[in-house]
Amino acid sequence: MFFLLAGWAGLSWLTGLLLLLRLPDHPLAQAAAAQCVIWGVLNSGFGLFGLRQAHRADRAAINPTTIQRELADRERLIRLLQFSARVSLAFLALAGLVLAAGLILRTAAAIGHGAAMVIQTTFLCFFDRTFLARLTLPDIHAQNQADNPTEAIDAPGSGR
């Protein structure tokens, strides 16, 4: 999921830079480009931080302490994504207001800011919900854990 966020950040950066290069004097393009770059910076930071944390976890030795730390990190990430989903909805409402104001007032810059914010926050709303759903899905392997009171799943036979 962090690769997806980093990819979205790169796409945001690229879109912003292309808009500035292609339409440098257009207020709508300048506003949209500014939003793309701002959101690209934010998403880059979160994506790279997540990738770094995942890389560290993958390289750590597997022992009870590491497992407990990973479970605690997972719980913190779940709480962060729950909070982020609410913040994304608030930003989506704000973006809608900016876009509506720009359309009513016929202000190209406000339309550009609002439209780019709607696109960015819509992606983040879906991203947060998808990431949260992946983290909170029941683990199908939990049935084979030693501390699970349910019956263990039999290993497949040789087939003969």
Q: Residue 160 carries which DSSP code?
A: -
Asked if 58 and 50 count as a contact pair (C-beta separation under 8 A), the reply is: no
Alpha helices in the chain (DSSP H): 2-22, 27-59, 64-105, 108-136
Which candidate, 139, 138, 135, 141, places its Cα nearest to that of 153?
141
Confidence of residue 144 (pLDDT cuts 50, 70, 90): very low
pTM above 0.85, yes or no: no
Residues 122-134: tens digit of each pLDDT: 998 998 899 888 8
